[in-house]
Amino acid sequence: MKQDVYSNTLNAFLTLKKTAKQVVLELSKEANAIDKRVIIEYKEKGEFEFELRVAGDLLIFAMHTNIFEFDKGHPVWKSSYIKEDHTRTFCGMINIYNFLNDSFKYSRINDLGYVIGRIFINKENHYFVEGKRQLGFLYNDFVHAVIDEKAIKAMLESTILYCLNFDLYTPPFDAIKEISVQDMQSVSESMQIKTGKRLGFRFQADNDTID
């Protein structure tokens, strides 16, 4: 059963890679026609990881090689789908991270990124997404939703839209009013002052509703 889950997750990840390349070709062509400074690109990082750069954002997709079961307190256990067969709770997982592209470009190792979504896939290729805003409520029909290329493209597009709308906030003044000599000296070397889209704010405050 776990081998089936792994195979399903790997196949979905391979489709995700293929679809991401196609989406990048489409979007980069459209973006270049409007503003050549807007860079959209795909970068292969290995069998279980790839990156999408969308303007100033970097999305990292990483497939976990292990299989997970949900704890008994998770909402999935309330559905008749799971009660009929508890092995349906065993899932593979693909994590989606959002970083600032400059964090990697300038090696700002103290910068923050965020997990904005987790895709779960079971032995029957049913899937759902735990995530922020549209990622969390558009793709949560674990009972009926079967992952395929169409679903993967929709998730990918929703992920890109989310990260573009997830803007960089300036941290509260009191959070940065003190800085050490070491931190200040390192700015000219590798820009080590910590940066993140929600630095100084609780990420949980970015709730799942659309403004």
**Residue 90 domain-assigned?**
yes
- Structural domain includes residue 177: no
Q: Give how many domains the chain has, as a whole number.
A: 1
- Alpha helical stretches, state H, the chain: 2-34, 80-84, 101-105, 134-137, 149-165, 173-176, 181-190
With 60 as the cut, is the pLDDT of residue 182 above it? yes
Residue 107 in domain: yes
- 163 pLDDT higher than 80: yes
pTM: 0.82
Asked if residue 130 is part of any domain, the answer here is yes
d(CA 60, CA 73): 29
Domain contains 9: yes
Q: Is 178 a domain residue?
A: no
Closest CA to 126 of 94, 89, 159, 154: 89
Domain span holding position 114: 2-167
The answer to whether residue 50 sits within a structural domain is yes
pLDDT 10s digits, 67-87: 999 989 998 999 999 999 999
Does 188 map to a domain? no
Residue 112's pLDDT band, with cuts at 50, 70 and 90, is: confident
Predicted local confidence at residue 188, as pLDDT: 54
- For 200: left if phi > 0, alpha if psi spans -120 to 50, otherwise beta; the answer is left
- Whose structure tokens read 């459209």? 30
- 3 state SS of 46: coil
